[in-house]
């Protein structure tokens, strides 16, 4: 990445702390970690689309391996800092990667969540001013436990928000039962980083996908559509109007939301049921207004075309650079060197708004420093 006078901030960068990996190693269903004799690194299996290859690899040593190698990039703090130094990243806002705590039972998620968040806080404390984090919430626990977790993470010095998946409490982000949590997060000034995990049903990819197309369809299409659907459901249910102080960062530049916002608007305006119910009357906030008032987008889109759409939809002052490390590593070069997935995102910013421009400096770091309050004196 080219040197810049502005501080570069990576707001989309993940880790699995060692204690979390131990949980995954103990599991018999996804998400899980498994070792195979034909490879030195354990394999991280997260997606429903990987279950078939997991079953085959368990029975046949010559079968295609499921998941991805669980290298030191996933759990090592020293590796994270090395990655930052290699790519000229001054500050990282780290977060637990999907699927967070969503698979844990109600009785265990509260304590494990507190432990994971404390572990992230300690890691950030080893590099004050360079590392901050998005906490994770024990959403399978009773409401009072979740609200207590919000209060707890608010008091952690380096916490700047929470990372959230699209299932919420199990029924999606338009579930009325989730409103008290959104209200608590808004009152605590904790920004929500919304990240997909569950994708779309395997059937939509067709019978050839698992054998011939790798993970391209669920990752390239399933994740962005999951985000788009989740946020549109929130909009239609009135969540953004009910919690006006709620602020969300959408992963992967909002999925397809910047591109489809106009179509969503047209469908709302022409829906007979919504018109009859008085939901399309004067004073209704449009999707476009919500995008510019309550939503931020990361810049993990890998092309200037997608990034320009995100800028047009939300504004260059609302976009923030990210790498999605440790996912999408180089496959044919040294992982300790530069990653093409990082340069693709940085180059997209330069091409979309002009290298060295004020907008480029804002997207690469200035916006995050302001929005996430990363300029405190440590």
Give the β-pairing of 68-69 and 91-96: unpaired
- CA proximity to 50, closest of 174, 175, 211: 211
Q: Which residues of the chain have pLDDT under 70?
A: 1-5, 377-378
What pLDDT is attached to residue 4? Answer: 47
Tokens encoding 255:
């999925």
Sheet with 43-45: strands ordered across: 32-34, 43-45, 68-69
Per-residue pLDDT tens digits for 3-29: 446 799 999 999 999 999 999 999 999
- CATH code assigned to 9-15+73-372: 3.20.20.140
What pLDDT is attached to residue 40? Answer: 86
Can you say whether the dihedral through the CA atoms of 165, 367, 316, 7 is positive or negative? Answer: negative
Look at the chain and count its residues. 378
What pLDDT is attached to residue 323? Answer: 98
At residue 34, φ and ψ (nearest 5 deg) are -135, 150
pTM equals: 0.94
Per-residue pLDDT tens digits for 51-90: 888 998 888 888 889 998 999 999 999 999 999 999 999 9
Give the β-pairing of 68-69 and 191-194: unpaired
What pLDDT is attached to residue 294? Answer: 98
Percent pLDDT > 70 in the chain is 98
| Chain centre to alpha carbon of residue 102 | 14
In contact, 280 and 268? CB cutoff 8 Å: yes
| Whole-angstrom distance, CA of residue 20 vs CA of residue 104 | 11
In the chain, where does the domain assigned CATH 3.20.20.140 lie?
9-15+73-372
């Amino acid at each position: 990445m080219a040197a810049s006078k502005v501080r570069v901030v990576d707001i989309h960068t993940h880790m699995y702390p060692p204690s979390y990996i131990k949980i995954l190693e103990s599991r018999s269903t996804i998400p899980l970690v498994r070792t195979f004799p034909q490879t030195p690194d354990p394999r991280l299996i997260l997606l429903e689309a990987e279950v078939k290859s997991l079953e085959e690899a368990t029975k046949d040593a010559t079968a295609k391996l499921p998941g991805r190698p669980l290298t030191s990039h996933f759990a090592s703090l020293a590796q994270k800092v090395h990655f930052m130094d290699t790519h000229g990243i001054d500050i990282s806002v780290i977060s637990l990667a999907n699927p967070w705590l969503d698979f844990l039972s109600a009785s265990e998620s509260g304590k494990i969540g507190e432990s994971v968040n404390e572990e992230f806080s300690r890691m950030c404390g080893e590099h004050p001013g360079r590392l901050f984090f998005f906490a994770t919430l024990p959403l399978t626990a009773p409401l009072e436990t979740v609200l207590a977790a919000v209060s707890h993470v608010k008091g952690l010095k380096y916490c700047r928000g929470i990372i959230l998946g699209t299932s919420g409490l199990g029924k999606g982000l338009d579930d009325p039962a989730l409103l008290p949590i959104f209200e608590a997060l808004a009152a605590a000034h904790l920004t929500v980083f919304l990240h997909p995990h569950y994708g779309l049903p395997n059937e939509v990819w067709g019978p050839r996908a698992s054998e011939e197309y790798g993970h391209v369809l669920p990752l390239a299409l399933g994740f962005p559509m999951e985000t788009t659907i989740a946020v549109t459901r929130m909009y239609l249910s009135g969540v953004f109007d009910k919690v006006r102080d709620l602020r969300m960062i959408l992963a992967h530049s909002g999925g397809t939301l910047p591109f489809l916002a106009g179509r969503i608007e047209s469908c709302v305006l022409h829906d007979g049921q919504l018109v009859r119910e008085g939901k399309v009357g004067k004073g209704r906030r449009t999707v476009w207004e919500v995008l510019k008032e309550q939503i931020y987008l990361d810049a993990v889109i890998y092309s200037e075309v997608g990034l320009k759409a995100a800028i047009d939809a939300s504004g260059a002052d609302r976009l923030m650079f990210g790498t999605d490390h440790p996912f999408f590593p180089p496959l044919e070069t040294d992982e300790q060197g530069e990653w093409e997935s990082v340069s693709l995102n940085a180059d997209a910013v330069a091409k979309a708004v002009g290298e060295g421009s004020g907008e480029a400096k804002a997207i690469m770091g200035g916006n995050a420093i302001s929005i996430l309050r990363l300029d405190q004196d440590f």
